[in-house]
Structure 1
Amino acid sequence: MSPAPLLSIRNLRHRYGETTALDDVSIDIGENEFFALLGPSGCGKTTLLRAIAGFEHPHEGEIFLDGRSLLDVPANRRPINLMFQSYALFPHMSVERNIAYGLESEGLPRAEVRARVEEVIETVGLGSFARRRPTALSGGQRQRVALARAIVKRPRLLLLDEPLSALDRQVRAEMQLELKRLQHEVGLTFVVVTHDQEEAMSMADRIAVLDHGRVRQVDAPSQLYANPADLFVAAFIGTSTRFAGTLTATGIDTAFGAVPGDHSGAVGEPGALVVRPEDVHLGPVGSGRVDGVVIDTTFHGGASSVRLELDGGLGVLTGTVHADRLPARGERLGADWSAERARIVAVEPAPTAQGAVSG
């Protein structure tokens, strides 16, 4: 029997006037899990985070923490901390004073505050910066101060709203690893909101992909990539080529013939064959299922991407090749792919958008 989830969200619905922000959202999040809410702008992920934190009261549904309903618990009484995108540090206070502020506000004994602040400062690697003010720190260091301030209160759940968006690319990559390390070290459940799929895939144990207020799929990053539940997830997660077709009992019928495979859609309904770049094999014309002409190449170091405009108006296929075998633009090639790794997905219609929703 699996353990009960730490956080359980059941049939949550929320609207802003005529705009549906959350549409029957149900998610379970486990103890000590690093969980990501991922989706494009307007998908409802920030609204969901605010509902968990207590800043929005959903119109329908329930939110349970440790089996206890949170809906009647004010935001300031929930054992949850929210780390804001802006960090919201006090510029006139030192690092240690910023971190201690919440504990002091609760009236904890001075000795306990000092001990907990010193412990968390060392955990986030800011021991030599304790007396500095935020203006004297780098963006990555300020992010660590905000994180330390959030975890020093020892919440049951830490919510992070786009925590790395203010950092440059290199620092962001470093902090992705740092956040994951800290999450394991302090033993907290993290729920992070992001629109950056690379960020979610690199940090999270599991990810909920949202679209128009609905949960499209909840899964581990590797499963989202390898086994997308529908066309939206396949298109949103990673790079792929999608070939339209009609679902059959044994696979899918496409413009280049029948392709066998499993799927969860209904026979006769629209579907798509999803092919990832690393599964594409390029060779001489006539050597694969399709032929085309190279229209673009992009160098990425050891591996590079090739975009092939396919004959017969079949679209553009993206493949990955070793950098030393990069074909020339205008070269004609044949293309095939690993049949066992291609995926057939149903084309799920997106809910009708009724207005823009933040997050």
Structure 2
Amino acid sequence: MSNTQTARPLLDVRGLRHRFGTVTALDDVTFDIADNEFFALLGPSGCGKTTLLRAIAGFEQPEHGEILLDGADLASMPPHRRPVNMMFQSYALFPHLSVEKNVAYGLEAERRSRSEIQTRVGEALEVVGLATMAKRKPAQLSGGQRQRVALARAIIKRPRLLLLDEPLSALDRKVRAEMQLELKRMQREVGMTFVVVTHDQEEAMSMADRIAVLNAGRVEQLDTPVGLYSTPRTRFVADFIGTSNLFDGTADAAGIEVPGLGHFPGEHAVPAGRPASAVLRPEDMILGDPGTGRWTCTVIDTVFLGGGSTVSLAVDGHATPVTSVLHAATGLRPGDRVGVGWKSDRCVIVPGEVSSAVPQREAAVPAGISG
């Protein structure tokens, strides 16, 4: 008999339910977060992720369920007593105070000694790379630098758990990409558990160890970034994470039958005769000469993105264009005919129960592009 025991999670969320009038914000939400983990709550606007974050912080009181931190129930603990800090989307810096005074504010409110405050402020500013800007005011900083000040102020009190609500949404695309890497570095350096709320799948995928994808108040799937992308369990996750080619049909023992397009083989657990969807990522589509592959299609458009080309294709019998991603520039032009197939082991089949409302999100070219 093994003596190995599973470590208790730092945060354990059990069966949370919460409503605002007739709107269900959280619907039986259950998950746990390990110590020193970078965890993301990802989903479209209105899915419940910010309500969930506020419940952990103590700003919302769920109607049902438990939130345990280190095994202790947080329900009766007011926000200011919880070993949790929250960094808001707006940063909320004091414009009349210097960087170091903004960072020191929480410790000064606790009446810590001057020497302790000075030491910890210096350490926090070193971590966020602003040690040389301690005397500046927020108005003298860039958006990315102000974000770092807010982060230093949040980590200086050494909470067990740091909650970040859309922390990068105010930054432009280039600075946001840089800060994604910086946040991950800082999280490892300070040895703290981060929970970030975002609607940006690229942001979550680049930073988090694990991601909970929320939809209409429920956790659709909790997995690693690789797991979410390569093996989505629902049609919503397949469509929300990255770019997918989706084909709707009816499950059978060996795959699904799609009207007008034929049979898509693949392993699955959907009962025969039930609605199901085949998921094929753009990099798994194979283009060749007309007459090769599964179909012969017409090129609608091509876009060169530096590291590769995205090709949009019209498939007879399928209302939605199919997307393929190639490694380099392509000579294909609109109107060209090409043969289209896919890597046989890359077809993922998921249940077909999902509403017709598909969330809008910024398209991203998935990693691991292949021809």
Q: 1:351 to 1:81 in 2, by over 3 A?
A: farther
Q: Does 1:81 align with 2:85?
A: yes
Alpha-carbon distance between aligned partners in 2 of 1:314 and 1:247, rounded to the nearest angstrom: 20
User: Are residue 174 (structure 1) and residue 159 (structure 2) matched?
Assistant: no
Among residues 12, 18, 24, which one is paired with 2:16 in the alignment? 12
- The one-letter amino acid paired with 1:258 is H
Bigger mean CA offset, 113-122 vs 152-161: 113-122
Distance apart, 1:250 and its partner CA: 2.0
Letter in 2 for 1:332: R
Could you list the per-position Cα deviations for residues 181-219 of structure 1 after superposition, in whole angstroms to 9, with x for gaps in the alignment? Answer: 000000000000000000000000000000000000000
Which residue of structure 1 aligns with residue 26 of structure 2? 22
CA offset at residue 288 of structure 1?
A: 1.1
Residues 36-58 of structure 1: CA distance to partner in whole angstroms, max 9, x if unpaired? Answer: 00000010000000000000000
Moved more, 296-305 or 32-41: 296-305
| Paired residues of 1:212 and 1:351 also in contact (CA < 8 A) | no
- 1:142 corresponds to 2:134: no
In structure 2, how many angstroms separate the alpha carbons of the residues matched to 1:146 and 1:327? Answer: 48
Matches within 5 A, 1:256-271: 256-271=261-276
With normalisation by structure 1, the TM-score equals: 0.96
How far, CA to CA, are the matches of 2:87 and 2:314 in structure 1? Answer: 45
**Which moved further from structure 2: 326-335 or 59-68?**
326-335
Q: CA deviation at 1:260?
A: 2.2
> What runs of 5+ residues in structure 2 fail to find an aligned partner?
358-371
> How high is the sequence identity, in percent, across the aligned residues?
62
Contact 1:212 1:350 in 2 (8 A): no
What is the alpha-carbon distance in structure 2 between the residues aligned to residue 137 and residue 347 of structure 1?
Answer: 49
User: Given the superposition, is the C-alpha separation of residues 259 and 351 from structure 1 closer, same or farther in structure 2, using an over 3 Å criterion?
Assistant: closer
Q: Take 1:128 and 1:249, find their aligned partners in 2: how far apart are those partners?
A: 65
Retained in 2: the 8 A contact 1:297–1:326? no
Residue 238 of structure 1: aligned partner: 242
1:306 to 280, 304, 311: 311
**What RMSD in Å do the two structures reach over aligned CA positions?**
1.3
The question of whether the paired residues in 1 share the 8 Å contact of 2:165 and 2:197 is answered with yes
Shift of residue 302 of structure 1? 2.5
Q: In 1, Cα distance between the equivalents of 2:318 and 2:239?
A: 20
CA offsets, 1:295-350, max 9 Å, x none? 11111012010000101335311001233324101111110000101211112335
1:205, 1:34 → 2: CA distance?
5
Answering whether residue 285 of structure 2 is matched by residue 280 of structure 1, we say: yes
| TM-score for both structures, normalised by structure 2 | 0.93
Runs of 4+ in 1 over 3 A off after TM superposition: 349-352
SS state of the match for residue 329, structure 2? helix
- 1:126 aligned onto 2:130: yes
> 2:343 aligns to what?
338
In structure 2, C-alpha distance between the alignment counterparts of 1:263 and 1:294, rounded to whole Å: 31
Using the TM superposition, give the Cα deviation of residue 105 of structure 1 relative to its aligned residue in structure 2, in angstroms: 0.3
- The answer as to whether partners of 2:265 and 2:347 remain within 8 angstroms in 1 is no
Higher relative contact order (CA 8 A, sep 6+): 1
In the other structure, the counterpart of 2:107 is: 103
Q: CA deviation at 1:259?
A: 2.4
Structure 1 position 253, deviation (Å): 1.4
Q: Please name the residue that 1:355 is paired with.
A: none
Aligned to 1:217: 221
